[in-house]
Structure 1
Amino acid sequence: MPPTPGPETQGRLTRPDGEHVAWKRVTGAGPTLIWVGGWRSDMEGTKAVHLAEAAKKHGWDYLRFDHFAHGESSGEWTAAAIGRWREDLIALIEAETGEAVILIGSSMGAWISLLAAVALPDRVKALLLIAPAPDFAHELMWPRLEDHVRQAILREGFAGIDDGTGPHRLTRAFFEEARAWALLDGPIAFAGPVRILQGTADDPVPWRHAMRLTEALTSDDVELTLIKDGDHRLSAPRDLERLTEAVAAVRKRSMA
């Protein structure tokens, strides 16, 4: 029988600069599962909340959080950067978890998860990546911006857009900083099991992007599941069921 979880708790991790990372946790049996959300999403999203309920049901230890400048965490959006999000995740792992963690990264969160896994190979035991978008800033986002938006970013240092996530600014500093964390052009040194869920109808992150990731990973235990007609969110009932099954499987695999 799985352990009976207590109520979900919440807290925040204060960073050296005074900013804070807000988190929520279901306490259960390890390894700790950490939800790492995507671009302009938060820990109250469909998949993050679904996994909280699954953790309660199965007795899993599960942590979800908001990135800097997202949700309940502090920070100015125009100061957000890939390196900042990476540092915050690493700090959260070191401060709030035990020895073993499994990162569940969605879209941009997969990029941040990969960076943390490379930095903490002794702590990160496995990865479950959903519509993974490593290097998305310059590989996927920049080429799709309208030319006048790109020109404004280069000329003024920023441009306002609304990409369906609400109006916000894109800065030249964000794109320049993101290139320093590129992964797909070189080997990604991670030895643990990696499981990838990818929809074939995903427009923001085409399935071939996930194929490039599988080739870049050094692990010899990588499985890519292509979901016919699956979109970027993969939040339909069957997708959520598949996600829960994948979490259970990768969790078991990491402890083998």
Structure 2
Amino acid sequence: MNKFKYIKVLNNRQIRYLSKEYKDNLYIVFLHGFMSNIEGEKPQTIFKFAKKNKLGFLALEYSGHGKSSGKFIKGNITKWSKEVEALIKKVVKKNNFILVGSSMGAWLSLNQFKYFKGQIKGFLGIGSAPEFLQNLMWKKFTKNMKNETIKKGIYNLKHGNYEYPITYQLIKDGRKNKILNKKIKSKINVTMIHGSKDEVVPTSYSRKVLKLFTKANKKLVIIKNGDHSLSSKRGIKKILLELDKITSNVA
């Protein structure tokens, strides 16, 4: 079993993370999705890939996720993006890195370009979901759901077998983190992978992300019959294949 570590950042938030550290190597930074953690198939397999290829690696659980401290309902995109920034500064330091963002992790990844533009040498998105709070949640809420969220400050959204506590502050903070109207001029390889049967985030979101990059070498990979998480053997195989292409192209 991989050894998880803990580090205190930003007002003593205890963040759990997984890393393989090198002094001068290229790193892979994996950012998980909404209410997820770093024990899943994707972070674990990508960690093995990094070790095998002698690449540095960092994956972290944002506050309120997994075994990191804090309450989920106190978190938001701004807070989680700052935690990612803090961990990259502490673990990756000045090394170059490739971002791998799954679902909400792709949104947090896009937020890192304003801090580490020169260090980011590639970006791989998996079922990317920037601005999902407004566009895929709030806009689909009924009037009653919206009223309850505003009045009580929270709405417990049932989706499949899960229940998501959606706070009004989370929705409002999401609006402050608009990214789809920005332009990113990094000359890097950007690959978006999306399942054709993703019932959570439409494939159009991956296309929207690609449009942000004006000078990148861009690629969209649609996995036939693939779901949102792409954690199946076929999905993981494709993710590693595309990740290998990106890492191999970094000089």
TM-score by length of 1: 0.90
C-alpha contact (below 8 Å) 2:7/2:15 kept by paired residues:
yes
Q: Please tell me the residue identity of whatever aligns with 1:19.
A: R
| Shift in CA distance, 183/228, structure 1 to aligned 2, threshold 3 Å | same
Offset of 1:191 from its aligned partner? 3.4
Hey, what does 1:125 align to over in structure 2? 121
- Inter-partner Cα distance in structure 2 for 1:27 and 1:249: 22
Q: Please tell me the residue identity of whatever aligns with 1:62.
A: F
C-alpha contact (below 8 Å) 1:8/1:26 kept by paired residues:
no
Cα distance per residue 1:54-100 (max 9 Å; x no partner): 22333322222111110111111111000011101111111111421
Hey, what does 2:157 align to over in structure 1? 161
Q: Please tell me the residue identity of whatever aligns with 2:67.
A: E
Which region of structure 1 is more displaced relative to structure 2, 175-184 or 153-162?
153-162
Hey, what does 2:9 align to over in structure 1? 15
| Shift in CA distance, 215/16, structure 1 to aligned 2, threshold 3 Å | closer
Count of residue pairs the alignment pairs up: 249
1:60 aligns with 2:55: yes
Hey, what does 1:218 align to over in structure 2? 214
Question: Does the residue aligned with 1:254 lie in a helix, a strand or coil?
Answer: coil
Which region of structure 1 is more displaced relative to structure 2, 223-232 or 158-167?
158-167
Give runs of ≥4 in structure 1 deviating > 6 Å.
none
- Inter-partner Cα distance in structure 2 for 1:75 and 1:200: 35
Match of 2:32 among 30, 37, 44: 37
Superposition pairs of residues 91-106 of structure 1, within 5 angstroms? 91-98=86-93, 99-106=95-102
Superposition pairs of residues 44-193 of structure 1, within 5 angstroms? 44-98=39-93, 99-164=95-160, 166-193=162-189
- Inter-partner Cα distance in structure 1 for 2:8 and 2:56: 22
C-alpha contact (below 8 Å) 2:185/2:216 kept by paired residues:
no
C-alpha contact (below 8 Å) 2:21/2:91 kept by paired residues:
no
Hey, what does 2:19 align to over in structure 1? 25
- Inter-partner Cα distance in structure 1 for 2:166 and 2:112: 24
CA RMSD of the aligned region, Å?
1.9
| Structure 2 unmatched ranges of 5 or more | none
| Shift in CA distance, 199/87, structure 1 to aligned 2, threshold 3 Å | same
| Structure 1 unmatched ranges of 5 or more | 1-6
- Inter-partner Cα distance in structure 2 for 1:79 and 1:235: 28
